[in-house]
Structure formats: structure tokens, C-alpha cells
Amino acid sequence: MIFDPVYFLFIAPAVILGIWAQIRIRSTYAVAQGLAAPLSGAAAARHVLDSAGLEGVQIEQIPGHLSDHYDPREKVLRLSSEVYRSRSLAAVGIAAHEAGHAIQDARAYAPLVIRNAAVPVARFGSGMAIWMVILGAFLSANNPALGFLVPLGILLFSGFVFFQLVNLPVEFNASSRAKTQLVELGIVSPQELVYVNKVLNAAALTYVAATLQAVLTLLYLILRFGGGDRE
């Protein structure tokens, strides 16, 4: 599979979309980072959390570029130094998006609950499933008893695809919550929201691209290895 040109043709649309998404993130983030906001990313996130009654959710500063995330296990929102300190539309948009995940967690938003439950299977499926399929396909030629690895690997990778699909509404909903809160709390104006929207939409494209690649990879595995003939 790794050296199969057919595989790369299968995932080409997702790769192209992913490249385009990265270009869009860089360009929209650069523009929004240059536009001032009344609060820093950390202060905006604190305001959004407190307005939702989540005073107990802590905010921490972490290293890395756009390494921002919400940890549902420790109930901590972690923001990269740039987002944490910056008073820009880009920073408050990203920080509010992550605060949106904390609100989802507090409200037991169903797709988030399902996504979190699927994390262990997704981690294993994304790392081991494809190798199980490949090894099963080759080893079963001499030892048919090992053929079970192929359908098992495909099943595990299906779990990863399921995780990616469920993750899409989680990310889109967090952005929707963020944009609503930013305007309602007066952190950004409706006119400024246009720039925040562009940043969050570009980030959402990366999730769409990742999901598309997972779906196309699963389709390839089924067509290439799912049948009885694996020569």
C-alpha cells in the first residue's frame, strides 16, 4: 500500500484539500493576527467560560504554534503562548473556539461524548490497523490462518473513520458557539467577526480534509484487500 500509486490517486483529493486548508490558515491567521481585539486570547476565553458558568475550568499557557486544545479529562483549556497573550482577532477566535469545547463538555454535547469514548479505538486504529491489513494480506498467502488480520484491520480502521466523522460536528459546533459568544459578549463586533469566521472556517477545512483522507483510505483498503483475491 505504501508504494502503491493507486492509493495516492485515491487520497489525492484529500491531500489537495489539506494543502489548500493549510494555505488558507496561514493567510487568514496572518490577517486576523494583525487586527486588534479588546482582550487577549486568555482573557476572551475566561470571559466566555465564566459567562457559561464554567469558572472552574482553568486556562494554561503552553508552548507551540496553534497547539491550543481543551483537555476534557483535567477540565483545562490550554492555549499556545501566541494565542494566550495576543490581543488580536485571531487569538480571541481560536481561544473562544477551544472554550466552546469546554462548554460542549459541560453540557454533555452528544457528538463530543461519543468522540471521547471512541478515542482509544481511534488511536489504535489509526496506528496499527493499516499494518494489520498489509501484513495479513501478505502473510496469509503462505499461512491462511493469518487471513483474519485483514478484516480485523479494516474493522479497526473503520473505528478511526467513525471517530473522524463524529469529530466534524464537534469542531463545527465549537466554532459556532465561539462566534455567538464573541458577539454577544461584545468581544468582537459583527464586522470584526468576518475575520474570525475566516480563521475558524480555514481551520475547519483541515478537519474536513483529514476526514476525507480517512474515508478514502478505508475505501481503498476495502477494494484492495477486502475481497478474496489479495494477490
Give the active site residues.
Answer: 98
Of 200, 120, 31, nearest in space to 208 by CA:
200
Do the beta carbons of residue 178 and residue 45 sit within 8 Å? Answer: no
Consecutive H or E run containing 58 = strand 58-62
Q: How far is CA 66 from CA 63, 79, 109, 127, 182, in A?
A: 9, 8, 24, 23, 19
Beta bridge partners of 36: 88
Amino acid sitting at position 184: E
Give per-residue burial for 90-113: e unless 16+ CB within 10 Å, then b: bbbbbbbbbbbbbbbbbeebebbe
The two most distant CA atoms of the chain are separated, in Å, by 68
The stretches of 55-189 forming alpha helices (DSSP H) are 81-85, 89-106, 110-139, 149-184
- Cell triple for residue 83? 494565542
